[in-house]
A and B are shown apart, each in its own frame.
Chain A
Amino acid sequence: MNTFVVKKWFDEGERCSFYTVLVGENKYSETDRFFMKFEETDNQYNREAHELLRLITYSIGNVYGAIDAFFDRTKNKAQALPPKPKKGIPEIFQMGINFPLRLYCFRISESIVILFNGGIKDQPTDQESKDLSLKFYEAQQLVNRISEAIHDGTMIVDNDSRTLTDFQGNSQIIL
């Protein structure tokens, strides 16, 4: 897997800060690439992308934090701080039973979430969905690398200031 940088994506809410990853030589972060796919107003999923963005930036970011109610509970069980290497599982924001978009993320705590990429869910499972299967696999790899970095101290989690830094205090963490 390519080297990637963990960097801030949105931290203007009062409850939760969101990070993202910039992979290899890409110009845009994975989360920006996800939203850019649906950004045009004539895109079929533009409204759903806006709904997801509002849930992230306002409901979770500003009002409630990354509480259990917004995450897949069965997958939450694998989480602990620091997460054990190889045990981290990407989670999915869900907005209703027929919601067509999936955005993978890794909930470090109720106040810090790392967002990845995602896509359109058009099959019963993510792995069967053409637009998701590769993203799901990539998200799992990213979670494993980030989990290891937290576990071995390469990445420092500070829930009080809602920040992630490397062991030298840098806000952009190269992994």
Chain B
Amino acid sequence: MMRFATLLTTLAATLGGCGGGEDGGKPRLTVSAAQSLQGAFEDYGSRFDAATVRFSFAGSDQLAAQIRQGVRPDVYAAASTELPQQLFEEGLVGEPVEFARNRLVIAVPADSPIGDLGDLDRDGTDLAVGAETVPVGSYTREVLDRLPAAQRRAILADVRSEEPDVSGVVGKLTQGAADAGFLYATDVAGAGDRLRAIELPRRLRPQVTYGVAVVEGAKEPEAARAFIEGLLSDPGRRAMRRAGFLAPG
């Protein structure tokens, strides 16, 4: 009887411990961030002193959907300004701020013969792109919408997979499953020498801006604000630059 009670107490304590809170005197901060931020944020997070940071990386749209369903991380960082702005208007996050920019590029395996956008609509070219709802996918469609209709249709006909986030596209390319895809320049750099980036013509480039906000009802609002402030000042800027991001405009 006694032992059973002890077990229950331990279990309750363990489960309770999962819900954030203090960790060795430091607050524990939960950050929901766009998949494309993984490298940069893990770098920045490991240097962030005010809290122990735990990350949840996924497509920005999936993370926004989680927040709409009542999930309460402390910070939400997205690969667009639109998604945090929508959540702000719904009263789910504080006012978002821009903290980085990125470039959308054509990504191909390092040894690919593909040289420019004109090669993508050839027969037998398999493309992997982001799904329409994830920022990388909506930027991709923004680019395609600026092309002549026939070329847009031909490229869309080569799409073999619509991935939920950038890591899906990276995986399909590094495994040689797809011949080309649209990714952020930082994803290509993060894949080491396995992928090569082909720049898009200037007139086609979408503006890729990252927005971040404190989530309403955050357990650690103070640490969340410190995390965002750090992101906008030296330590954050350096980590973002190291990963290849650009400063906000």
Q: Do A and B bind each other?
A: no
Measuring CB to CB, which residues of chain A are less than 8 angstroms from any residue of chain B? none
